[in-house]
Amino acid sequence: MSRVSGRARGDWRLCVLTDSRHARGRSHIEIAMAAVRGGATVVQLRMKDEPAREAVAAARAIAALCRAAGVAFLVNDRVDVALAAGADGAHVGQDDLPAADARALLGPDRLLGVSAATEDEARAAWRDGADYLGVGAVYGTSTKADAGPPVGLDRIRAICRAVPVPVVGIGGITAENAAEVIRAGAAGVAVVTAVTLAEDMVEATRRLREQVDAALGR
Amino acid sequence: MSRVSGRARGDWRLCVLTDSRHARGRSHIEIAMAAVRGGATVVQLRMKDEPAREAVAAARAIAALCRAAGVAFLVNDRVDVALAAGADGAHVGQDDLPAADARALLGPDRLLGVSAATEDEARAAWRDGADYLGVGAVYGTSTKADAGPPVGLDRIRAICRAVPVPVVGIGGITAENAAEVIRAGAAGVAVVTAVTLAEDMVEATRRLREQVDAALGR
């Protein structure tokens, strides 16, 4: 592994996940466009039921729009789709491709995010090559059946102490509670419905970004 | 593309697909072991609902047993799982990762199978780097909801004429009708339930292999 230990790459302040199952009929591309316009620093394509051919087509389009805007673009779970579409990287959960395998397939230069709910999972993910950790569900969430019980802010603090890799809080995060997640030590927050179900997705993204930036003192 | 046009690689006589949804409770590994013992020349892991982490674990075990037996091992749809597990290649359908993308990710040396139901799909798959084509459903099938109506033996003949790549018939094939698929021009047959639902999976594989070999004049 050629990574420099402790070296943080990427801007993890606000990640918007496109999940069209919880999006008032909006498409992945519509969500990604609004996220980019509103100031997301990362867009993550989360397709669960769609065939891979459709995922590659959507990922190619989103990769192009993110590249033009200087926003990082990751694909959830499917490392092959990420590579085929020219994404910046992939994000894997604990039931997805093992992090070490994902890192080997992505190579040292692409970004790898890994979901971790405990300090042990966080240490393993860091060791296996994660560039950042998605930690949650911080609060309750309706979009992920296998998310487990909320882990709360204390877990964010504990994982931030346990590993040197940036932590992104996920699960039930809104513009109202984003700042406290950052104050607990997170480098950023990741959201689904706070954007995808919003009346105005661009404005919702902008408000989240403002809350995160203010809490980070930027 | 560094492939030699028209050069056939691999022994496609009998492919057994492990599909645990239609397997009397048998696991992917149990099916693969029986297939190898009975004389399958290819084993293909077909996991549709299981998480990728489980697929990689099963694929690693099956890759090891196939390697020891000199049997080719392919993973259906998930090229990342195929690569992570060290499989010999992957098989993609028309809704999966596009064949050209699968070929790019697999590199020139790994095997790529592509499903094709028409002569146009067959020509495109060959052009995009397929080593063999899965053509079907030859007869009716119960294991694949999106298989479309049976294409019959005439389609096997037409596709064998249209492209120089080996054709493997799939869909409703049994020891009773395997020989006529070979006589129509196929290099082999692929089966699911003819093996996975059989009382004795090893014996069922052996009978299929005998029928194919006899029809090929071996």
* Domains within chain B, CATH numbers bracketed: 14-216 (3.20.20.70)
Name residue A30's amino acid. E
Q: Taking a C-beta distance cutoff of 8 angstroms, is the pair A80, A73 a contact?
A: no
Of the ranges A88-92, B122-126, B146-150, which one carries the lowest mean pLDDT score?
B146-150
Residue B48 pLDDT level (bands cut at 50, 70, 90): confident
Give the whole-angstrom CA distance, residue A170 versus residue A189.
6
Closest CA to B125 of B86, B89, B156, B167: B167
Q: What is the mean pLDDT of residues A186-195?
A: 98
Asked whether the beta carbons of residue A78 and residue B80 sit closer than 8 angstroms, the reply is: yes
Residue of A46, A103, A206, A207 marked catalytic = A46
Coil, helix or strand at residue A22: helix
Give the whole-angstrom CA distance, residue B113 versus residue B116.
10
| Helical pair B28-38 and B201-216, crossing angle rounded to 10 deg | 40
CB-nearest partner of A56 from B77, B94, B98: B98
Question: Is residue B81 within 8 angstroms of chain A, CB to CB?
Answer: yes
Question: Is residue B50 within 8 angstroms of chain A, CB to CB?
Answer: no
Give the whole-angstrom CA distance, residue B23 versus residue A213.
54
Per-residue CA distances from A72 to A16, A42, A91 (Å): 11, 5, 12
Q: What angle do CA B159, B141, B194 make, to 5 degrees?
A: 100
The pLDDT value given to residue A7: 45
More confident call, B1 vs B97 = B97
* Kind plus residue range of the DSSP H or E element containing A100: helix A99-106
Residue A97 CA to its chain's centroid (Å): 16
Position A143 pLDDT exceeds 90: no
Closest CA to A153 of A205, A215, A93: A215
CB-nearest partner of A105 from B84, B94, B104: B84
Give the whole-angstrom CA distance, residue A172 versus residue B171.
46
The pLDDT value given to residue B80: 98
Q: Show the tokens assigned to B59.
A: 């694929």
CA dihedral A46, A49, A51, A54 (to 10 degrees): -50
Per-residue CA distances from B113 to A16, B72, B184 (Å): 36, 12, 20
**Which residues from B are below 8 Å from A79, CB to CB?**
80
What is the share, in percent, of chain A residues with pLDDT greater than 70?
A: 95
The pLDDT value given to residue B1: 36
The pLDDT value given to residue A6: 42
Residue B8 pLDDT level (bands cut at 50, 70, 90): low
In terms of C-beta density within 10 A (0-12 exposed, 13-18 middle, 19 or more buried), how is residue A157 classed? middle
User: A77 to chain B, minimum CA–CA distance in Å?
Assistant: 8
B71-89 core/surface letters (b: 16 or more CB in 10 A; e: else) = bbbbbbbbbbbbbbbebbb
Which chain A residue has the Cα nearest residue B90?
A: A80
Dump pLDDT digits (tens) for B79-115.
999 999 999 999 999 999 999 999 999 999 999 999 9
